[in-house]
Copies of this chain bind each other. A is one copy, B any other.
Amino acid sequence: MSIKSTNITAVAHRVPQEERWRAAGHRGGVLWFTGLSGSGKSTLAFELEHRLFAKRYNVYVLDGDNVRHGLNSDLGFSPKDRAENIRRIGEVAALFAEAGVIVLSAFISPYQRDRDMARKAAGAQFHEIYLSADVSACEQRDPKGLYKKAREGKIPDFTGISAPYEAPAAAELVVDTANESIEACVEKLMAYVDEKFGFTQG
């Protein structure tokens, strides 16, 4: 029994991050997309996920679809709940990064304060990616008809219309989704990931 007890303490350590990175051929980390509704966050995140997966990166998208119905299903849309929504996503993204995955988070995340918390959780492997399309460009697209509803007053506190969006003060990368094609944006992101996360390119 005493030997077993000794072992219990001895083996309880994690696989070192450098070993994970070496085995995967790339670093883990967070690409935190931020931008208005309609700026292309989900589009770019999913397209990037496909491309990175094809290059054998471990990659995963966190978005409203897989977070709001599960982990954050207890949260509403009050200011407090919105902040908690982003806080939890930041913490989950940090866990994925620690596991060696490149996680792409696709949430409006309009407040710098909330994005800074997510950055703090993930540490050095956090990259803030600002999709810089402005309200007029996003409203012109309005793929889900949300801007129309917001203008009609049917959606309260809609970012860019009736609630503020704080553009990142110092994003690691700015992608101009108003004026560049999706293909050009994806190419830019792929080059960024290869440079910042890839070992084969370094």
Contact = CB atoms under 8 A, between A and B. Distances in A.
B70 A12 contact: no
B43 A70 contact: no
Given A15-B53, A70-B94, A94-B70, A60 B1 contact: no
A8 B143 contact: yes
A36 interface: no
Q: Can you tell how many copies of this chain the complex includes?
A: 2
A1 B61 CA distance: 25
Main secondary structure of the interface of A (DSSP, over half): helix
Sorted nearest first, the 3 A-B pairs with minimum C-beta distance are: A60-B99, A71-B91, A70-B91
A182 interface: yes
Contacts of A200: none
Contacts of A149: none
A98 B12 CA distance: 26
A2 to B, nearest CB: 9
Given A4-B181, A4-B182, A7-B182, A23 B141 contact: no
Contacts of A148: none
A40 B95 contact: no
A92 interface: yes
A43 B140 CA distance: 56
A154 B182 CA distance: 60
A128 interface: no
Interface string A12-46: 11110001100100000000000000101011001
A66 B98 contact: yes
A5 B66 contact: no
A101 interface: yes
Contacts of A56: 23
